[in-house]
């Protein structure tokens, strides 16, 4: 059986890659658990200074695997609890507060929960044909992996509300213009560009770099765990209502592929 997550190390740089290309690297429960474990193992690896996060075969992540949601109207994920480092989010690592930077290398789609994974990262490198979007808006599936908290912090409330309410596609050029993407690359070059950026960051004296990085994050986060708890509580109500399962059923039946909003 093919591993859903690939973890590699090269000196002081590590790479974590989602490996479900047949599903555009959509995440199911097993993959989420493997992602969480991979990032925790790197957190405890003193040799690793920077992590690159990507997806195999030209896709970052198409979100949660809605085919699994369409088979189960229940909610089998736990809410955030305090400051515990190993508390996993539904998509895997999205509640982890690591002590080292993470760079997303994005080819193809980073949509729905996949966009939330990208928002969890500290920096985002996007290929020119890559795109973001809260595509789960079509299916009645809420953001419960930090998207409602992190997106306004990154691009401001007004722009965030546009993306949250419409769920529209955001191409790489727009993402760069509004501050969602930190670097643009040619198609197929996102991973190497992210690795080059990781090597540059890892080469700096670590104590000063990490001290400034942590201070910058703490200054913006405020009550991050409280915000995550509120986001989850509201999202859980939506999921329990059955709306998300109905939308996932439409997706599983073949509706709305390729970002089509015409059949909602």
Over the stretch 99-143, which tens digit does the pLDDT of each residue have?
999 999 999 999 999 999 999 999 999 999 999 999 999 888 899
Residue 81 pLDDT grade (very low, low, confident, very high; cuts 50, 70, 90) = low
- In 3D, which of 131, 121, 115, 108 has the Cα closest to residue 188? 108
Q: Token pair of 99, please?
A: 């002590």
Q: Dump pLDDT digits (tens) for 23-69.
A: 999 999 999 999 999 999 999 999 999 999 999 999 999 999 988 76
The whole-angstrom separation of Cα 155 and Cα 218 is 17
pLDDT at 227: 66
Q: Is the pLDDT confidence value at 87 over 70?
A: no
Q: Is the pLDDT confidence value at 258 over 80?
A: no
Residue 75 pLDDT grade (very low, low, confident, very high; cuts 50, 70, 90) = very low
- In 3D, which of 77, 115, 95 has the Cα closest to residue 36? 95
- The pTM score is 0.84
Tell me the pairing of strands 13-18 and 50-55.
parallel
Q: Is the pLDDT confidence value at 161 over 70?
A: yes
Angle between helices 157-166 and 147-155 (to 10 degrees): 140
- In 3D, which of 245, 248, 249 has the Cα closest to residue 74? 245
The whole-angstrom separation of Cα 103 and Cα 218 is 18
pLDDT at 182: 98
The whole-angstrom separation of Cα 90 and Cα 235 is 12
Q: Dump pLDDT digits (tens) for 90-100.
A: 999 999 989 99
């Amino acid at each position: 059986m093919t591993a859903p997550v690939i973890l590699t190390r090269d000196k002081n740089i590590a790479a974590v890659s989602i490996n479900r290309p047949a599903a555009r690297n959509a995440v199911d429960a097993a993959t989420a658990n493997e992602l969480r474990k991979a990032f925790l193992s790197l957190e405890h690896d003193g040799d690793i200074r920077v992590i690159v996060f990507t997806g195999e075969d030209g896709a970052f992540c198409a979100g949660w695997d809605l085919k699994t949601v369409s088979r189960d109207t229940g909610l089998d994920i736990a809410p955030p609890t305090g400051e515990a480092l190993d508390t996993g989010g539904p998509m895997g690592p999205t509640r982890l507060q690591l002590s080292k930077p993470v760079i997303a290398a994005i080819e193809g789609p980073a949509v729905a929960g996949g966009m939330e994974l990208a928002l969890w990262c500290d920096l985002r490198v996007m290929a020119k044909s890559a795109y973001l979007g809260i595509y789960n808006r079509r299916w009645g599936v809420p953001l419960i992996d930090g998207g409602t908290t992190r997106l306004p912090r990154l691009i401001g409330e007004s722009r965030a509300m546009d993306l949250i309410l419409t769920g529209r596609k955001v191409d790489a050029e727009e993402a760069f213009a509004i501050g969602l993407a930190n670097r643009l690359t040619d198609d197929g070059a996102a991973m190497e560009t992210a690795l080059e950026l990781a090597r540059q960051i890892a080469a700096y004296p670590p104590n000063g770099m990490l001290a400034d990085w942590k201070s910058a994050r703490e200054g913006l986060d405020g009550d991050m765990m409280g915000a995550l708890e509120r986001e989850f509580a509201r999202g859980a109500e939506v999921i329990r209502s059955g709306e998300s399962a109905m939308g996932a059923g439409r997706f599983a039946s073949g509706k709305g592929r390729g970002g089509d909003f015409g059949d909602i």
